[in-house]
Amino acid sequence: MRQLLAACCLCIVTAISQAQDAKRGQYLAAVGGCVGCHTEEKKDAVPFAGGRALKTPFGTFFGPNITPHPQAGIGGWSEADFIKALREGTRPDGAHYYPAFPYTSFTKIVDVDLRDLYAFLKSVPPSARASQPHDLKFPFGFRILNMVWKWLFFTPGPFVTDASKSQEVNRGAYLVQALAHCGECHTPRNFLGVSSRDLFLAGGKSPENKGIPNLTPTRLKKWSDPELIQYLQTGLTSDGDSAADPMSEVISNSLAKLTSPDINAIVGYLRSLLPLPEDKK
């Protein structure tokens, strides 16, 4: 009887901790903006059921269905499969993902957060919506090229805390570099789509070749902390302007949902960066 009781308690404790993990994962998914790339751009679209068109210089990608549907989504995946996808950019069958899926940033997500993200995605309603194939220019349709790209340009591995920096700056660095993947847009890339390591957050280019601002103190020193916090939470600037797309979407899907300590950590980290000149290319 005692044993039975103990087993039962363990069961309840496990159930509770799993529920908590999914809740934590929901917050992490918001920070990561997963819903934006994995949900069709139409009214009443099922969240995470895929179909969002993502235009890039290499063609159009369609975010796949990542609901727990066993065939259409990732319902058949193990937790290890999920971790491998985000950490290594590799599909369960060994094929290589395109970096349009920002695993170049997500690789830095730590294990406990990856597990909670997985628990959350397992808890969303499954959708049978089939993922559609990407529409890419020749020769980018060949996934094998991603293997070469990764081999040349991708270093997998979780975020490592910098002991010389404060806890807040480390938290901000983690959010910016890993989950919130700010560098995917705010860092210049070369013609192979490779982000510059030396010019991290020095400003990028949109697929339409429009400039994306520098986030190092070179530019942001003009903003006070309250101005920056207001912008990140609402998209509003002090002169009454508002953030344009896609930053407005980053704010509504992601930054607006962050806790104040996390927003402050992002600001603290951006303030700690070396001032870098804008990319001239």
How many other C-beta atoms are found inside a 10 Å radius of the C-beta of residue 212? 17
Sign of CA dihedral 66, 68, 71, 74: positive
Residue 273 in contact with ligand HEC, rule: CB under 6 A: no
Residue 51 in contact with ligand HEC, rule: CB under 6 A: no
Within its chain, how far is the Cα of 87 from the centroid? 12
Of 27, 58, 61, 174, the residue at the interface with ligand HEC (CB under 6 A) is 61
Of 29, 49, 199, 202, the residue at the interface with ligand HEC (CB under 6 A) is 29
Whole-number Å distance between alpha carbons of 77 and 83: 10
Whole-number Å distance between alpha carbons of 91 and 95: 5
Contacts of 274 (CB under 8 A, 6+ apart): 216, 217
Identity of the residue, 2 or 138, whose beta carbon is nearer to ligand HEC in the bound complex = 138
Residue 250 in contact with ligand HEC, rule: CB under 6 A: yes
The answer to whether 65 touches 49, Cβ cutoff 8 Å, is yes
Residue 231 in contact with ligand HEC, rule: CB under 6 A: yes
Residue 173 in contact with ligand HEC, rule: CB under 6 A: no
Whole-number Å distance between alpha carbons of 21 and 118: 9
Residue 114 in contact with ligand HEC, rule: CB under 6 A: no
Q: Which stretch, 3-11, 147-155, 187-195, 211-219, contacts ligand HEC (CB under 6 A)?
A: 211-219
Within its chain, how far is the Cα of 244 from the centroid? 19
Residue 215 in contact with ligand HEC, rule: CB under 6 A: yes
**Stretch 115-134 residues interacting with ligand HEC (CB under 6 A):** 117
Q: Which stretch, 39-47, 161-169, 213-221, 272-280, contacts ligand HEC (CB under 6 A)?
A: 213-221
Of 30, 49, 72, 100, the residue at the interface with ligand HEC (CB under 6 A) is 100
Of 49, 119, 185, 276, the residue at the interface with ligand HEC (CB under 6 A) is 185
Q: Give ∠ CA 35-36-38 in degrees, rounded to 5.
A: 60
Smallest gap from residue 185 Cβ to ligand HEC (A): 3
How many residues line the site for ligand HEC (CB under 6 A)?
A: 42
Smallest gap from residue 132 Cβ to ligand HEC (A): 11
Residue 64 in contact with ligand HEC, rule: CB under 6 A: yes
Residue 54 in contact with ligand HEC, rule: CB under 6 A: yes
Q: Give ∠ CA 100-104-106 in degrees, rounded to 5.
A: 100
Whole-number Å distance between alpha carbons of 130 and 64: 8
Residue 181 in contact with ligand HEC, rule: CB under 6 A: yes
**Joined tokens for residue 221:** 């020193």
Contacts of 59 (CB under 8 A, 6+ apart): 134, 135, 136, 137, 140, 141
How many other C-beta atoms are found inside a 10 Å radius of the C-beta of residue 8? 10
Of 22, 30, 202, 247, the residue at the interface with ligand HEC (CB under 6 A) is 247
**Joined tokens for residue 13:** 């404790």
What residue ranges bind ligand HEC (CB under 6 A)? 29, 32-34, 36-38, 54, 61, 63-64, 66, 74, 82, 85, 91, 97-98, 100-102, 117, 176, 180-182, 184-186, 206, 212-213, 215, 219, 231, 243-244, 246-247, 250, 255, 266
